[in-house]
């Protein structure tokens, strides 16, 4: 199998060259994630082309926790996620495991954080297996080929995302949902300490949505992975995240547990939507849209 070109592995679907260090061989011993990493964002401001898009956003996620960013179209969810990933210039601080990500080189950041954008751009001629193996790049030395541990991480990610049967298929020959799962498989192969997911299930059928979200949830427990995701489906956000940050016009409109944030009054105000909020058997909010009487 040919080895894919190095890229910034923390940013699935957004390839660009990345410098590598001079250690021969595959994944080095001790490359495994050293432990859980929480997130502390303080006073985040982002301007895009001179337009203020995010203002004074602060939020925290405990190590191994799941935070969902919710809010209407254009509220700034993807921009906050991109700033945390180091892809959007910002003011304020973003600490992951106590480390200011603004001061990290691409390779260091990619060992810490994996980011899966909303619409990953995948190189069409690469195979699924080659692409997923790109997730190992931050763990490889200069000109090193993936070693046994890297291959194993790639195969495990393929299997976890139900992609093994597509492993030798070119990326151009996949459906939208399969492509979304490939981007996630690459992020998992990266073995990050924090996973940033922008609408990770938008192209998936109901069964694959649950499978992917259950898998990410399981990894929070088994790998102590910290998760920050955007999610449009408020009921799903309430089922999987322990904390929600509701953004409106680039600012935090509410920050708390699902029960604190998902209320009929807040949703009516921020989304201009008619909904009924009830509870599932575990007491989590369930949002039902109501048609105009």
**Does residue 77 touch ligand ATP according to CB under 6 A?**
yes
| 79 lines the binding site for ligand ATP (CB under 6 A) | yes
157 binds ligand ATP (CB under 6 A): no
Is 55 or 224 the residue whose CB approaches ligand ATP more closely?
A: 55
Interacting span for ligand ATP (CB under 6 A) from 4-12, 69-77, 96-104, 166-174: 69-77
| From 17, 74, 124, 176, residue interacting with ligand ATP (rule: CB under 6 A) | 74
Per-residue H/E/C for the chain: CCCCCCCCCCECCCCCCCCCCCCCCCCCCCCCCCCCCCEEEEEEEEEECCEEEEEEEEEEECCCCEEEEECCCCCCHHHHHHHHCCCCCCEEEEEECCEEHHHCCHHHHHHHEEEECCCCCCCCCCEHHHHHHHHHHHHCCCCCCCCHHHHHHHHHHHHHCCCHHHCCCEHHHCCHHHHHHHHHHHHHHCCCCEEEEECCCCCCCHHHHHHHHHHHHHHHHHCCCEEEEECCCHHHHHHHCCEEEEEECCEEEEEECHHHHCCHHHHHHHHCCCEEEEECCCCCEEEEECCCC
Residue 4 or 120 having the CB closest to ligand ATP: 120
| Interface pick for ligand ATP out of 2, 22, 30, 49 (rule CB under 6 A) | 49
Residue among 140 and 262 whose Cβ is closer to ligand ATP: 262
117 touches ligand ATP (CB under 6 A): no
Q: Which of 46, 41, 49, 102 is nearest to 75 (CA)?
A: 46
Residue 119 in contact with ligand ATP, rule: CB under 6 A: no
Asked if 78 touches ligand ATP (CB under 6 A), the answer is yes
> Does 51 engage in binding with ligand ATP (CB under 6 A)?
yes
Q: Is 88 in the site for ligand ATP (CB under 6 A)?
A: no
Instruction: Decide: is 53 part of the binding site for ligand ATP (CB under 6 A).
Output: yes
71-79, 139-147, 265-273, 282-290 -> range binding ligand ATP (CB under 6 A) = 71-79
75 binds ligand ATP (CB under 6 A): yes
| Residue from the set 48, 56, 62, 121 that interacts with ligand ATP by CB under 6 A | 48
Of 27 and 57, CB closest to ligand ATP: 57
Is residue 229 within the footprint of ligand ATP (CB under 6 A)?
no
Q: How far apart are CA 190 and CA 228, in angstroms?
A: 16
Q: For Cα atoms 98, 101, 102, give the angle at the middle one, nearest 5 degrees.
A: 130
CB of 38 to ligand ATP, least distance (A): 23
Positions in the binding site for ligand ATP (CB under 6 A): 48-49, 51, 53, 71, 73-79
């Amino acid at each position: 199998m040919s080895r894919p070109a190095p890229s910034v592995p923390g940013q699935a679907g957004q390839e660009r060259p990345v410098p590598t260090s001079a250690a021969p061989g595959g994944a080095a011993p001790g490359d495994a994630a050293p432990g859980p990493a929480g997130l502390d964002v303080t006073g985040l401001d982002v301007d895009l082309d001179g337009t203020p898009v995010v203002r004074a956003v602060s939020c925290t996620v405990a190590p191994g926790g799941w935070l969902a960013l919710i809010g209407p179209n254009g509220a700034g969810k993807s921009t906050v996620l991109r700033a945390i990933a180091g892809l959007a210039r910002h003011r304020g601080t973003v600490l992951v495991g106590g480390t200011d990500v603004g001061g990290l080189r691409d390779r260091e950041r990619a060992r810490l954080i994996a980011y899966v954008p909303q619409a990953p751009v995948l190189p069409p001629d690469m195979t699924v297996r080659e692409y997923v193996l790109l997730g190992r790049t931050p763990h490889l030395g200069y000109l090193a080929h993936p070693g046994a541990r890297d291959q194993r991480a790639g195969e495990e990610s393929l299997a976890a995302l139900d992609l093994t049967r597509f492993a030798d298929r070119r990326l151009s020959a996949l459906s939208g949902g399969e492509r979304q799962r490939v981007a996630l498989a690459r992020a998992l192969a990266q073995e990050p300490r924090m996973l940033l997911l922008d609408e990770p299930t938008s192209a998936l059928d109901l069964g694959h949505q649950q499978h992917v979200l259950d898998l990410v949830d399981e990894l929070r427990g088994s790998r102590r992975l910290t998760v920050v995701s955007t999610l449009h489906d408020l009921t799903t956000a309430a089922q999987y995240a322990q904390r929600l940050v509701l953004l409106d016009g680039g600012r935090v409109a509410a920050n708390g547990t699902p029960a604190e944030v998902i209320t009929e009054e807040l949703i009516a105000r921020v989304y201009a939507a008619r909904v009924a909020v009830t509870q599932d058997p575990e007491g989590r909010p369930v949002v039902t849209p109501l048609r105009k009487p």
